[in-house]
Amino acid sequence: MTPIPTQSVEAMAAALAALMVEARGPETAHDPGVALAAQDAAELAHENGAGLVAVLTHADADPAILVGNVVPADVPVEDLRRHLVDEDDIHEVTTSETTRGYPVVIAERLLMSGAQLQAVVVAPAWHRMAVFTLHSRTGRGWLELAAILGQLVSSVDFTPPADSASR
C-alpha cells in the first residue's frame, strides 16, 4: 500500500496515475483509462474529505485505488447491511468483526468500470464509521488485493490515544 498526499485533486490524480503506471508498466502510460480512474478517484476523495488515498499493489494483481475516511454515524450495523443488500449493483454483502471486536460490513460491487469492495468498520460507542473503498479497473488479482484491504480493516482502532499528561 502506497499512500499519496491529499493536498489537491490535481496532485492526487497525478500521483495515483504515476503509481498505477509504475505498477502496470510504462506501456500503460498511454492508456486513457488510467488517467480517468486516477482523476475520478481524486475528485471523489477530495469531495468526501478522505483521510487516506493510496494505491494497492500485489505481484499477482493489477493496481487498485484505495480511499478511506472516518465519518460520524449512528447507524446500527444491521440497518447498514440491509441498506446495502437492497442496492442493485451490490454483488455480495457480508458481515465480520475486526480483531478489536468492531463490526464490519463488506459489500462487493461489480461495475462496468471494474470491481469495487467497500468495507465499513462501525464503532457504535464512538458514533463513527471508517469507510474503505477499493476499486480495481480490471479485477485481476482481486482476492490478493482484498486480502490487503482485510489486513488494514482488521487494524482499525477507534480508541482515543492515551492522554500523555496523565502518565
Q: Is residue 166 part of a domain?
A: no
Q: Is residue 67 part of a domain?
A: yes
Q: Is residue 14 part of a domain?
A: yes
CATH code, domain carrying 114: 3.40.1000
Separation of alpha carbons 16 and 10, rounded Å: 10
The domain in which residue 87 lies consists of 2-157
Q: Is residue 167 part of a domain?
A: no
Full-model pTM = 0.84
Q: How far apart are the first and last CA of the chain?
A: 34
Q: How many domains does the chain have?
A: 1
Q: Is residue 164 part of a domain?
A: no
> pLDDT tens digits for the chain (167 residues)?
999 988 899 999 999 999 989 988 888 888 888 888 889 889 989 998 899 999 999 999 989 999 999 999 888 888 888 888 877 778 889 999 999 999 999 999 877 777 889 999 999 888 899 999 999 888 889 999 999 999 999 999 988 776 644 44
Q: Is residue 88 part of a domain?
A: yes
Q: Is residue 113 part of a domain?
A: yes
Q: Is residue 162 part of a domain?
A: no
Q: Are 109 and 100 a contacting pair, CB within 8 Å?
A: no
